Amino acid sequence: MVFLKDMNDKALYYGITSGWKKLPECAKYFLKLGMALTGYLSLDRRLILGLTVPTRAYAASLIATGITIQRTKQEIIPNQKKKDYWDVVPGAQFIKQLIGEVKIKEFITKTQHECIILGHVNNLEAEIQGETFAVISPDKNIAEGLLQDIIRARRFLKEGEGYRSEVFPVTLPEAPKIQNNETPLFVIFDGPIGFLKWRDYWQESNWILILDRTENVSSFFESASIINQRYIQKRLERDEKYNDLQPVPQGIELIIFEEKR
């Protein structure tokens, strides 16, 4: 399992008015969880992950970031040409620190449906585009960027740019359409509404359901109950394989299992 192996995770920061503050443990956990999930993918099984959290903040966006980091790492081709658009790409050093020497031109032009997030667009935009993050090296070199530099959500990019993820509001009257009807690798339901409305459209994708316990209305319980039923009825008996997952921080409840595709 790869957990930010090649990066000192204590060097991750986020911006505050007076400078930089270390990323809280919960945030690091979500990032690592997203990275770890890519290690469990399989062609004949699909992964279902459920989380209940004390606040939904950053869970979906950081898990999506973790997924994109790890998936892009798998694309890295070593010994690439040194001059490869790095200087013109926003957040390039940040990308380099988190992902490595990725083929940057390909990274920003190639479209790949790593994940879609269904949730409250304004909140997700504030997290993905509004908050600044940084990797600070021991010699105080600051590589700063936005989560958007990594996850490249189509909604927040210019028309025609290559994207790695999509963000959709749950208020749409119909299920959102993905270009070329492709199947995203992961569907992240940031809240119960999208899950209850549209989960059946993405039966082929791996699911991540995030439930904020402060919104424990009927849709919360209905969603948890659907996950529970699937766990009881369809789970493949391979729970022990998740034993190497990072310990869950206090206040987070997690369920993870696989179903046959």
Partner 1 sequence: MSFVSMYDAGKIYSCVAKCNINIHQVNHRLFGQFCITLKQFQHVIREDYSDEFLKDFIYNLKKYRFKMCSSPRPYNDPSIISPSDMQNLSKYLFNIENIFPGYASKAKEVFVMLKRLASLGDNPLLEFLISFSKTFDLKNSALLLKEPGSDLCLTLSQYPVLAGLKIIAYPELRGSECFQRILIIGPNYWFPDFIFDSPRSEEIHIIKYDWLNNYWKNEPNFVGAVKNLCYLKENEQQKQPDKNMHVSSNEEIYVDGNEFIGEIDWEKVSKEYIRNIHKIEYQTESVMSKFILLEGDYCVYLEDSDAAGVLVLYFFHNKPRIIRVANSKLTPEMYILLRTSGGGDYIIEVADRIMGKEAENLRQLQKHWKSLFCKKVRYNGTSETSKILKGFGSERANEVNVRNWMSERNIKPNSYIDFQAIMKLIGEEKMTDKYWENARKIEVCHRRAGFIIRKLLLKKVLESDLTLLHNAEKIDFELEQAGGGSMTAFRVKFISQEPFEIPSSRLGVVNYIGREGKYG
| Binding interface with partner 1 (CB under 8 A) | 14, 16, 21, 23-27, 50, 52-58, 120, 122-123, 126-127, 131, 191, 211-218, 220-221, 224, 227-228, 231-232, 235, 239, 242, 245, 247-257
Cβ density class 195-210: b for 16+ within 10 Å, e for less:
bebbbeebeebbbbbb
Question: Across the strands, what pairs with 119?
Answer: 169
Provide the minimum distance between the beta carbon of 224 and partner 1 in the complex, in angstroms, as a whole number. 5
CB of 166 to partner 1, least distance (A): 20
Question: Of all residues in the chain, what percent are helix, strand and coil, respectively (each to 5)?
Answer: 40, 20, 35
Closer of 2 and 254 to partner 1 (Cβ) = 254
Count of CB atoms situated within 10 Å of the CB of 190: 28
CA distance 74 to 35: 11
Is residue 150 within 8 Å of residue 68, measured between CB atoms?
Answer: yes
Instruction: Provide the minimum distance between the beta carbon of 84 and partner 1 in the complex, in angstroms, as a whole number.
Output: 31
Closer to partner 1 by CB, 162 or 169: give it: 169
Minimum gap (Å) between residue 141 Cβ and partner 1: 22
Nearer to partner 1, 111 or 171 (CB): 171
* Smallest separation, CB 240 to partner 1 (Å): 10
Nearer to partner 1, 102 or 134 (CB): 134
- Asked if 20 contacts 136 with a C-beta cutoff of 8 angstroms, the reply is yes
CB of 113 or CB of 120, closer to partner 1:
120
C-alpha dist (Å) from residue 27 to 61, 73, 127, 225, 261: 10, 20, 12, 27, 31
Three-class SS state of 130? helix
